[in-house]
C-alpha cells in the first residue's frame, strides 16, 4: 500500500499544476466513457460482436470504443451507441 500512497501523494501534487490538471481531466473523460460503455454492454449481457451488429459495424470498432485510450468518439457514434444499448445519451457542460 506504500506505493499507492506515494502515487496518490504525487498525483495530488501534480494536479496543482493547471496544465497537468487540464490534461488529466481530458484523459479522465475518455477513460470514464470507455469504461461506461463496456459496463453497460456487459450488464446487458451483449457481446462486442452483437453490439457491432446492432451498430452495423465490426467487433474491432466496438473494442476501440471500449478502449480507454481511444479519443475518436463522435457525437453521431455516441447517439447510435445509446440507441443500440437502449440508453439515453446526455451531453452537458457543468
Contacts of 45 (CB under 8 A, 6+ apart): none
pLDDT at 62 over 80: yes
pLDDT value of position 3: 77
pLDDT value of position 57: 97
pLDDT bin (cut points 50, 70, 90) of residue 87 is very high
pLDDT bin (cut points 50, 70, 90) of residue 13 is very high
SS3 of the chain: the string is CHHHHHHHHHHHHHCCCHHHHHHHHHHHHHHHHHHHHHHHHHHCCCCHHHHHHHHCCCHHHHHHHCCCCCCCCCHHHHHHHHHHCCCCCCCCCC
Entry pTM = 0.81
pLDDT at 36 over 80: yes
- Domains for the chain: give ranges and CATH numbers: 21-94 (1.10.260.40)
Amino acid at each position: 500500500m506504500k506505493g499507492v500512497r506515494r502515487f496518490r501523494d504525487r498525483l495530488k501534487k501534480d494536479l496543482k499544476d493547471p496544465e497537468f490538471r487540464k490534461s488529466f481531466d481530458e484523459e479522465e473523460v475518455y477513460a470514464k466513457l470507455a469504461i461506461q460503455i463496456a459496463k453497460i454492454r456487459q450488464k446487458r449481457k451483449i457481446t462486442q460482436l452483437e453490439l457491432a451488429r446492432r451498430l452495423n459495424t465490426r467487433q474491432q470498432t466496438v473494442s476501440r470504443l471500449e478502449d480507454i485510450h481511444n479519443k475518436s468518439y463522435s457525437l453521431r457514434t455516441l447517439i447510435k451507441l445509446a440507441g443500440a444499448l437502449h440508453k439515453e445519451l446526455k451531453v452537458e457542460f457543468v
